[in-house]
Amino acid sequence: MTLQLQAGVSLKPYNSFGVDVRAQWFAEAHSDADVREALAYAARQQLPLLVIGGGSNLLLTAEIPALVLRMGTRGIRLVSDDGVNVVIEAEAGEPWHPFVLSTLAQGWSGLENLSLIPGTVGAAPMQNIGAYGVEIKDVFAGLTALDRESGELREFSLEECRFGYRDSLFKHAAGRWLILRVRFALSRVEHLHLGYGPVAQRLTEQGVSQPSARDVSRAICSIRSEKLPDPAVLGNAGSFFKNPLVSAALAGELKLAHPGLVSYPQPDGQVKLAAGWLIEAAGWKGFRDGDAGVHRLQSLVLVNYGAASGGQLLALARRIQADILQRFCVELEMEPNLY
């Protein structure tokens, strides 16, 4: 028996909001065997099992009457290499950003726009992580998951994951699939995506005229470090709300009433609104109620100034949702996973 089970563990160090709730049981998995042992233990004790990675997309609103299993599996391997294109497989517990850097150091491009996202490889498919115009679906080459219902391993192709905007099959079948490892199709030939937000401008400011994938990664790290609060300093879970997709008719009406509205027409005719703009326009930027607040630079990010509970953060989120609905007729959907 290698799995170390601990009773009554505070999850404060294990969620980026820094919310202090206890797990009835806690363990870290360092192998597939640990994962299976944890599942068997939970089944024997008739306990729910909650799997977590870095805890950077969680809002814990109460004590967790479950076995919380933190994925700590490690390993990165080259699956195939035709001289130009490679497929890389990483274990679920690999920390995301160091993994991205390790691929770039090998000269493999594809993940550079996803630099500095917190969390683990295994959680990345959950919401098809995305930033600066790239999502993992763009470089996804498959994953291996454990079916918690049958105990069998299952391979998932790109189509089977049903990736969408911050969405996937796994997000909807919460708790069924435990992702063990993920594969990525990367390339020694760089196809850079520079047309999103301030990336190209930052490269120019940095004096880079012919950027490499590593230059893009560095530029994105510098932009993100300036704009986003570091969870180690100020608790947060990144963007708290998804950018809403609305009809072209509603976007048109809103644009007439609010000429500064930030909107992006989508290929399917819908229009994506910048949720951060709506929240800022409604006056919430920098708002603080006790230790729960809206970040002073990035209104899409809710923050914990120290001792906010998950319930207080959730109450603030609901106030913002109600206000945005009333002012703009737009429903904001929360992005973090609530427990």
Rounded to 10 deg, the angle between the 96-105 and 213-227 helix axes is: 150
Q: Which is nearest to 244 in space by CA: 335, 172, 170, 316?
A: 335
Q: Which tokens belong to 121?
A: 């490889």
3-class SS letters over 67-118: EEEEECCCCEEEEEECCCEEEEEEECCCEHHHHHHHHHHCCCECCHHHCCCC
Give the list of residues 6+ apart from residue 290 with CB closer than 8 angstroms, or none: 305, 307, 308, 312
310 part of the interface to ligand FAD, by CB under 6 A: no
Q: Are 74 and 90 in contact (CB under 8 A)?
A: no
By CB under 6 A, which span of 63-71, 83-91, 92-100, 128-136 interacts with ligand NAP?
Answer: 128-136
Residue 318 found at the interface with ligand NAP (CB under 6 A) = no
Binder among 9, 11, 16, 261 for ligand FAD (CB under 6 A): 16
By the rule CB under 6 A, 238 interacts with ligand NAP = yes
The correct pick among 19, 29, 69, 126 for binding ligand FAD (CB under 6 A) is 126
Residues touching ligand FAD: how many (CB under 6 A)? 33
Nearer to ligand FAD, 179 or 324 (CB): 179
Given the residues 70, 166, 181, 183, the one annotated as active site: 166
| Helix and strand totals (H; E) in the chain | 9, 20
**CA angle centred on 174, ends 231 and 76, rounded to 5°:** 60
Q: Are strands 76-81 and 85-91 parallel, antiparallel or unpaired?
A: antiparallel
Using CB distances below 5 to 8 A depending on partner kind, what does residue 73 bind out of ligand FAD, ligand NAP, none?
Answer: none
Least distance (Å) between residue 245 CB and ligand NAP: 10
Site stretch for ligand NAP (CB under 6 A), options 66-74, 99-107, 130-138, 180-188 = 130-138
233 HSE (CA, 13 A, CB side): 5
Question: Does 219 participate in binding ligand FAD (rule CB under 6 A)?
Answer: no
Count of residues engaged in binding ligand NAP, rule: CB under 6 A: 16
Q: Is 239 a catalytic residue?
A: yes
**Candidates 109, 239, 263, 299; catalytic one:** 239
Residue 142 touches which of ligand NAP, ligand FAD, none (Cβ within 5-8 Å per kind)? none
Structure tokens given for 313: 């953060």
Token pair for residue 59? Answer: 């809002």
Q: How far is the CB of 129 from ligand FAD (least distance, A)?
A: 3
Span interacting with ligand FAD, options 3-11, 102-110, 122-130, 189-197, rule CB under 6 A: 122-130
Beta-carbon count within 10 A of 318 CB: 11
Is there binding between residue 197 and ligand NAP (CB under 6 A)? Answer: yes
CB of 162 to ligand FAD, least distance (A): 15
Given the DSSP bridges, would you call strands 288-289 and 301-304 parallel, antiparallel or unpaired? Answer: unpaired
Least separation, in Å, of the C-beta of 10 and ligand FAD? 16
Which pair of structure tokens corresponds to residue 190? Answer: 């760089």
Active site annotation includes 181 = no
Q: Is 74 a catalytic residue?
A: no
Q: For residues 204-232, b (16+ Cβ closer than 10 Å) or e, as one string?
A: eeeeeeebebbbbbbbbbebbeeebbebe
The residues that touch ligand NAP, with contacts defined as CB under 6 A, are 130-132, 196-197, 227-228, 238-239, 243, 264, 274, 276, 298, 300, 335
The residues that touch ligand FAD, with contacts defined as CB under 6 A, are 16, 50-58, 71, 92, 117-120, 122-124, 126-127, 129-131, 166, 178-179, 228, 231, 236-238, 337
Question: Which residues does the annotation mark as catalytic?
Answer: 166, 239, 335
